[in-house]
Chain A
Amino acid sequence: MMRALKKSINHIVLMGYLLIILFPFLFVVFSSFKLNNSEIALSPFGLPEHFVWDNYVTAWVNAKINVYFLNSLYIAVLSSCITILIGAMMSFAVTRMRFGKISLLLFQLILLGMLIPNTSLMLPIYLLMQKMNVLNTHLALIIPYVANAIPFTVIIMAQFMKAIPSEIEEAAVVDGLSVGGIFAKMVLPLTIPAIVTVFIVNFLGNWNEFLLSNYFISNDELRTLPTGMVQFRDAYQSNYAQMSAGIVYSVVPVMVIYAVLQKKIIEGVTAGSVKG
């Protein structure tokens, strides 16, 4: 008896933790199908009496989820791709080309970037965007997103590229490839595992980013999902059923991506933080 209890105590505690993680989601999903606030208030834990799909329809229209969703998607994907291209070029030059001393210096400089907290540099970056005349356009997000991810991207990719044996380039030179050819045809394909990791981390970071998006964009049509959702909440604060439907819309895509790619995502996100 004691042994059985001892064995299951881990499971009991962990199931408790799981419940704490999952219960808020269940609460929101149940609430999203309820008729109105009073039904939520009367039976907060229970299933809805009738499944009310109306909340989903009205939330989709009122919250402009489709607009925010597409904005977020294209900004996050585009920024991540540009970062990877620029970061890969720099990593390649620093690790594979023969400029030892300058490369070391440049790499150290980029490392320094991991120490600089970017939230506290928001004000100068705001001014910079103002000077570039891009405030309140998507460029005001894309350019900082690309730049902010560079240190992490270069560190991870440089580490990976360093490990590629130099015979590869010798062989490539014999075959008559140029530097650009070596980069695009030989080194990049070999770096794909690192590219995937970096893409996931950068994509999630951009997809979830709130501060810049909140202060650099004021046009409603241009908002990304996080700021759009906050806007939606502030506008329909008293209709919790509809708000819950909005939350479900914004959570489900991430959950689906996470379910499919979870191993790679966990690996990437934790690698990013430790090495940074």
Chain B
Amino acid sequence: MNKAMRNPYIYALFVIPALVLFVLFFIYPLINAVYYSLTNWNGVSDHLKFWGFKNYTKALTDDTFWNAVKNNGYFILFSCFIQVPIIVICSLMIANVKRFKSLYKTAVFMPTVMSTAVIGILWGFIYNYDVGLFNKILGFFGVEAVDWLGDPKFAMLSILITNGWQWTGFYIIMVLAAILSIPKDLDEAAEIDGATGYQRAMKITMPLIMPVVSVVIMLSIAGAMKAADIIIVMTKGGPAGSTDVMATYMIKYAITNFKYGYGNAISVIIFVFTMILTVLYQVLIARRSERIEY
């Protein structure tokens, strides 16, 4: 039909800018990371020696690294067992109310559009020992003040709460959209048959939104593995490394301690761990909750 639409030069002209950037910023860094992870390079000097998997064995036998992995794990556990129930309950509630529906939607989503850095600063203030909101509330009930971000026992929990505060609303809106797309007649038929609100939620709505909940969990896992900025803003990994996650551990070694090769080994490990978790989740859990047709 049209010769112009088959012109290979124009095709190339249209494709190449995006492709060049893609290769430079996705493919090349990936190869680069794998390559340098096998060396002892410090990121600056000409001195470079291959030493195989030494960086990997060093990381995998380092207790501080496993402590960081554990903190990534807390991120995942917190979102699966605390955020997900809240998300499901709140979205069911918003779907059921008639008044203020859009007010709830707007307000709940708001933290999502704000920058993590500003949220970190804001919550740092709330957690502040002397003037912060939390200690004032505790003081009101006569409980002793807690150094939220300065005490290794509470620092990680404080970060998880802030992170949850920022992202829960985003997922609520996703699940809510799924609930609202379920045909009304299903619910009405059950109601005529005498099902209570609770029964309808558990037997009709819940199975139908499982695929979306599954997506929420996947996104939470991906987010948990990438988490870094909130920690850098709030605690910089401290006190005494108690809030370090893999990404901040990597940055610490590569940029602050000039261990570029080692840092890259960590980034490859993050990549591999994320892949393993994703695949495991897909195989073990997501497959069982297959999409239900209606």
Taken together as a complex, chains A and B put the C-alpha atoms of A147 and B29 apart, in Å, by 12
B 90-118 to A, binary, CB cutoff 8 A, 1 in contact else 0:
10011011011001111111111111111
Residues of A within 8 A of B18 (CB): 86-87, 89-90, 110, 150, 154
User: Contacts A123-B263, A255-B110; is A92 near B14 (CB within 8 Å)?
Assistant: yes
Taken together as a complex, chains A and B put the C-alpha atoms of A180 and B5 apart, in Å, by 10
User: Contacts A93-B11, A144-B25; is A215 near B96 (CB within 8 Å)?
Assistant: no
- The A interface is mostly helix, strand or loop, or mixed, namely helix
Number of B residues with CB within 8 Å of any CB on chain A: 92
- A215 engages B251 (CB within 8 Å): yes
Interface centre among A10, A25, A180, A247 (most CB of B within 10 A): A10
- A211 engages B267 (CB within 8 Å): no
- A270 engages B222 (CB within 8 Å): no
- B247 engages A147 (CB within 8 Å): no
Residues of B within 8 A of A244 (CB): 125
Residues of B within 8 A of A192 (CB): none
B 190-224 to A, binary, CB cutoff 8 A, 1 in contact else 0:
00000000000000000000000001000100100
- B229 engages A28 (CB within 8 Å): no
- A11 engages B97 (CB within 8 Å): yes
- A179 engages B5 (CB within 8 Å): yes
Q: Indicate if A207 sits at the interface (CB-CB under 8 A).
A: yes
Taken together as a complex, chains A and B put the C-alpha atoms of A123 and B275 apart, in Å, by 20
Binding site for B on A (CB under 8 A): 10-11, 13-14, 17-18, 20-25, 27-28, 31, 37, 40-41, 44-45, 86-87, 89-90, 92-94, 96-99, 106, 109-110, 112-113, 115-128, 143-144, 146-148, 150-151, 154, 169-170, 173, 178-180, 182-183, 204, 207-208, 210-211, 214-215, 225-227, 229-230, 233, 240, 243-244, 247, 250-251, 254-255, 257-258, 262, 265-266, 269-270, 273-274
